[in-house]
Amino acid sequence: MNILDSILGAQGGGATQQLGQQFGLNQDQVATALSALVPALAAGFNRNMSNPQGLDGLISALSGGQHQQYVDDLGALGRADTVSDGNGILGHIFGSKDVSRQVAARAASQTGLSESVLKSMLPIIAAMMMGSLSKQVRQPGGMQAGAAGADGLFGMLTPMLDSNRDGSMVDDVIGMLGRFVSR
């Protein structure tokens, strides 16, 4: 299952309903927001996982943290500590608040949704992504550190990254990150 499907299906769709209530959006708008934000977040996760320390750190965080609560407990989505944790996640995967702002601005231009709403949603969606990945790591027979862990994480993220469906995510990730990160 890819990461977007995992988030959309969390709590039988209850997580997306909760997001809608929290941000004054209907179900279609929430799905549109997720479809615009999740690929950018997946690209950030992928970039972070491309170096061994980033991958080990992510697997360690997924194994040891309490991230599953973000997809298992609908009440967690409205808490201030979720936003704080999500902002920490964004810092790790994007490196700066400027990149997060650019992601929200780009998503707003693609979706017609308010940039301020998308900026507010971004840390919660990042926390939900960590929750979905954590759930995958912790399930019986889930991912372990090293190559098997990388394959499982890449498997959840890759469908979000090959947007032109050409079988290679490299061109898509480079293009996506190029729009958000000027290094």
Q: What is the 3-state secondary structure (H, E, C) of 80-142?
A: HHHHHHHHHHHHHHHCCHHHHHHHHHHHHHHHCCCHHHHHHHHHHHHHHHHHHHHHHHHCCCC
Task: Encode pLDDT of 50-72 as tens digits.
Answer: 777 777 777 777 777 788 888 88
**Structural domain spans, the chain:** 3-180
How far apart are alpha carbons 69 and 170 in whole angstroms? 32
How far apart are alpha carbons 30 and 9 in whole angstroms? 13
Task: Encode pLDDT of 98-136 as tens digits.
Answer: 999 999 999 999 999 999 999 999 999 999 999 888 887
How far apart are alpha carbons 121 and 55 in whole angstroms? 25
Give the model's confidence band at 162: pLDDT under 50 very low, under 70 low, under 90 confident, else very high.
very low
Task: Encode pLDDT of 33-49 as tens digits.
Answer: 998 999 899 888 888 77
